Structure 1
Amino acid sequence: MTDLWADYVDASPEQAEALPARGPFGDSPALADELLALVLAGGKRATSGPPDPDEPVTVGGHWVVSDGSDRERVILRTTEVRAGRLDSVDDRFAADEGEGDLSRGYWLQEHRTFVRRVLGLSATTDVDDVEMIFERFRVVWPPEHADALD
C-alpha cells in the first residue's frame, strides 16, 4: 500500500511542510463510505460539523480522507471556511454538500440528527444554534479524482 500523502508531496514538493488532517467523513464506517462515494462521484464539494479545537479548519489546509475501512483514498484542500449557527446554512451550501435531494430542508433534517448524535444530545434538543464549521474544498489527489484548477 502506498502512502497517499507521500505521493502527493512527491508530485507537489511545495506541500512538504504541510501537516494534513487525517480521517473519514462522518461518525461511522458506513457514513464514511457513503460520503466519500459522493466526493469520488464529483457531487460533494462541501462538508460541515461542530468545530474540533484539536483540528481547526483553515483555508489552504489539507485533509487526507479515509474510507470506512480506514484506507486513505483522497486528499482535499480547503478553499473556504465559515463558522455559523447550524441553521445559517444556505441553499447553495446544502447543494454543495451533495447529499439527499440537495435541498436546505433535507440538509437541516440530516445535520440536526448528526449533531445530536455526535454531541450526545437527546432527540428533542434544539440544535439550530450549535456552532458549525462550513467548509468548501477541492480534491487535489490522486490525479484520477483531482478537480481541475480554475
Structure 2
Amino acid sequence: MTTPLPDIDRAAAEAMWRAYADAHPETVAATQDWTVEYFGDSPTLADELLGLVLDGTKRATAALVVEFIAEGEALPRIGSHWIACDGAGVPRVVLRSTEFRLATFDEVDERFAFDEGEDDRTLATWREGHRRYWERTAAARGGTWSPEQQIVLERFTVVWPPEHRD
C-alpha cells in the first residue's frame, strides 16, 4: 500500500506563482494557466522525482490521459506552467511545458526515457518502472492499465525560483 500524498500548501503555491508572475509578467500574460501537482503517487516518490528535477537530471514526465480525466484536469499545453511540490506538499519549483505529444507505451523512445531521468535512464527500465507504476495507480482508481492507453509525454524547463532555473 502506498502512503497517500498530503494536501498541497495552496497558499505557498499562490505566493510562489505571484513571485514568478511579478518577475516574468510577459510570459505569464501569454500563458496564464497553471496547476499545482506532485510527481508520483507517494511522498517518497514525489521527493525522489523532484530531487531529479532539482539536480537537473529530469526534464520530462509521462502521465496517462485517463489520469487527467479522472482528476478533472485539462491536458498540458506548450507554454503552460505547473508548480511541483515535494512529498510534504510544499511547492518547490515552477515548471513550464516545452514539448507535448501523445503516444502509446510502445511508441515511447529511448530519448524520452533518458530525458525523464529515472533509474539508469534506459528505455528498458523506463518501461518496467512505468508499467508497474501505471498498473498500481490504475488499480487504486479501480481500473486497469493497458499499453494501448494514450500517454501524455511532456518535456519541461524549470523557470522558478531563480536558483533552480534552467
Same fold (TM over 0.5): yes
* 2:88 aligns with one of 61, 69, 83: 69
Give 2:61's aligned residue: 47
Matches of 2:102 and 2:55, distance apart in 1:
27
Moved over 3 A (4+): none
Over the residues paired in the alignment, what is the CA RMSD in angstroms? 1.7
Richer in helix (by share): 2
Corresponding residue for 1:94? 113
In the TM superposition, residue 102 of structure 1 has moved relative to its aligned partner by 0.5
Match in the other structure for 1:56: 75
**Does residue 1:5 correspond to 2:17, yes or no?**
yes
Deviation string 1:81-137 (CA, Å, 9 cap, x unpaired) is 01010221100000000000000000000000111111118xxx7732121000000
Query: Aligned to 1:24, which of 20, 38, 47?
Result: 38
Contact 1:81-1:135 at 8 Å conserved across structures: yes
Q: Secondary structure at the match of 1:127?
A: coil
Structure 2 spans left out of the alignment, 5+ residues: 1-10
Candidates 135, 139, 145, aligned match of 2:158: 139
- Tell me if 1:37 matches 2:51: yes
Residues 134 and 145 in structure 2, CA contact (< 8 A), matched pair in contact too: no
For this pair of structures, how many residues does the alignment match?
A: 144
Q: What TM-score results when the alignment is normalised by the length of structure 1? A: 0.90
| Structure 1 residue ranges without an equivalent (≥5) | none
State the distance in 2 between where 1:58 and 1:126 align.
Answer: 24
TM-score by length of 2: 0.82
Question: Which digits, 9 at most, give the CA deviation of each residue in 1:12-34, with x for residues without a partner?
Answer: 11215712111111111111000
**3-state DSSP of counterpart to 2:22:** helix
Which of 91, 97, 105 does residue 78 from structure 1 map onto? 97
